[in-house]
Structure 1
C-alpha cells in the first residue's frame, strides 16, 4: 500500500484518502494498542484554526484529518493538488457504522441534545441490526468524569464525539489519556442529521455542492456567521492571501495509521 498522503491546507495537514482506505486504516487502528483520533477539516474548522489560539495544533495532533466539504477541494485545487474523495460526514459516517456492525466493533455516541442523541441511537440500531451500541450521552454535560466513566465501562472500539468545533477536538485532546476507546472520531452535527431532527438538503442540491446554502436558508440566524462571513473569509485566505504556490505533500512512513 502507498503511504498516507497529507496536504497542507492553510497550515492544517489534511489526509488525502478514500472511504475504502479509511476503513482499512480503521482496521489497523483497532489492532494497535493505543487510542487513535480522527478529526475532519472544512472551511469552518480552517477558519477556527486562525481565530482560536492553539486550535491548529490540536487539529494537527490527530492521526487522521479527513476532508469534509467543497472548500477543501477548492483550496487543494488552487495549489495544483487534488483531494481524491470528499468524505462528507453525513454520508460517510453511516458507512463507518455499517462496518462496525458487520465486524462486531462496539460503538458509543456522545453529543447533541438529549432528544437528538436518543433518536440517533435508535436510528443506528434500526438501520444496522447487528450494531453493538454500548450507550449514548448528550453533549450538554458538566461532569466530565461521570461521562468518561460511562464510556470507559464499555470500552468502545469506536467513540463518536459530536460537540461541535472547536469544543469536540479540544475535549478529545484533553481527555484522550483518560479514554478507554480504540478510535475516537469527531462528527460535528452528524447526530442532528442522522436523527432526522435536522433536514438535509435535497439530493439535487447536494449534487450541486450547495448543501451549505440549504443549511443557511433553514437556519439563517445560526448559520449566517459561518457561511455569509466565514465562507468569503476562507476563500480570501485561499485565493487572496498567497495560497497559490505548489502544495507540499507529506507521505507518512511505516504505518498508514500514523501521525
Structure 2
C-alpha cells in the first residue's frame, strides 16, 4: 500500500489519490527532480480496472503497492460523488502521459516504451522523438510474457528515468509490480492503448467528446469490439450501490 499523505477516496476497494491533473503532474516532476532509491508507480484506473481488482485479490494487492492511483474516466469521478467524497477531476492516462513527457523533455530524461505490437511501438517512438527532441527514447514491443528476462535486461541496460508499459491491464501492472524492484528512481506507469494513439494508428476522440466526458462513447462507436467491455458497467454500478449501503469499516478495508 502506498503511504503518501494525499487524501484517499475509496471506490469499491481501490483507493484513489484525490488530486487534480496539475497536482499529479507536479508530484511526478518533484519525483524526477530529486534522486531517491525508490520508484514511483502510477496507476490510471477506470471502472473496468476497479471492478476487476474488486474480484481479483492478487491484482488488488498489486494496486495497493502503487504510489499514485488516479481516476482515468468520468465513471470513477461520478461514483466517488455518489459515495460521498467526490474526486477533484478525472486524470486521463493519455493526457497524464503527455504531461509527463512535456516535463521530461525539459529535464532531458530517458524514456523506455514497452509493449504493444512491433509496428505500433516503433511508430510511437518515432513520433515522440519528433515531439520531444530532448528525451532519449528506446522501445521494445510485446505484451504476452511478463516474465521475459531478456526484455527486463534490455530495459535495465537503458537505465530509464521513465518506463511506460502498454500491455493493457492486468499485465502492465503485473509487469511493473514484479520488475520495478530491479530499478531505482524510476517512474513506472501502465498506459493501456496510448501507444496506438501516439503512433497515429488510432485517433483520439474529437474535443467535443472529451469536453463532454463522452470519450468512452466515441471509442465504443468507432470500435465495436468494446461492446463486451460495456457489460462491466452495470456490475460496477451494483458494487457502488453495495458499498454505499454497507457501513464503512476502516480497518477491514485497509488490512
How far did 1:23 drift? Answer: 2.7
Paired position in structure 2 for 1:100: 104
Paired position in structure 2 for 1:153: 157
Return the match for 1:10 from 9, 12, 21. Answer: 12
Equivalences for 1:25-174 in 2 at 5 Å?
25-30=27-32, 31-133=35-137, 135-140=138-143, 142=145, 144-174=148-178
How far did 1:152 drift? Answer: 0.8
How far did 1:92 drift? Answer: 2.3
Compared with structure 1, are the counterparts of its residues 243 and 196 closer, same or farther at alpha carbon in structure 2 (3 Å cutoff)?
farther
- Determine the C-alpha separation between the residues in 1 that align with 2:60 and 2:165: 19
CA contact (8 A) 1:98 1:128 kept: yes
Do structure 1's residue 243 and structure 2's residue 244 form an aligned pair? yes
Bigger Cα displacement from structure 2, 177-186 vs 6-15: 177-186
How far did 1:164 drift? Answer: 0.4
Q: Tell me, what secondary structure is at the counterpart of 1:241?
A: helix
Structure number with the bigger relative contact order (C-alpha 8 A, sep ≥ 6) is 1
- Determine the C-alpha separation between the residues in 2 that align with 1:203 and 1:248: 41
CA contact (8 A) 1:80 1:247 kept: no
How far did 1:36 drift? Answer: 2.2
Structure 1, unaligned runs of 5 or more = 250-259
Return the match for 1:225 from 210, 225, 228. Answer: 228
- Determine the C-alpha separation between the residues in 1 that align with 2:149 and 2:185: 15
How far did 1:172 drift? Answer: 1.1
Return the match for 2:186 from 182, 186, 201. Answer: 182
- Residues 176-218 of structure 1 show CA distances to partners (whole Å, capped at 9, x for unaligned) of 2224561111111111112121122221122221111121122
CA contact (8 A) 1:79 1:245 kept: no
- Determine the C-alpha separation between the residues in 2 that align with 1:188 and 1:141: 14
- Residues 54-98 of structure 1 show CA distances to partners (whole Å, capped at 9, x for unaligned) of 111111110111111011101110122121131111222111101
- Determine the C-alpha separation between the residues in 2 that align with 1:119 and 1:244: 48
- Determine the C-alpha separation between the residues in 2 that align with 1:242 and 1:52: 17
Calculate the aligned-residue CA RMSD, in Å.
Answer: 2.2
Aligned length: 244
Structure 2, unaligned runs of 5 or more = 251-255
TM-score using structure 1 length? 0.87
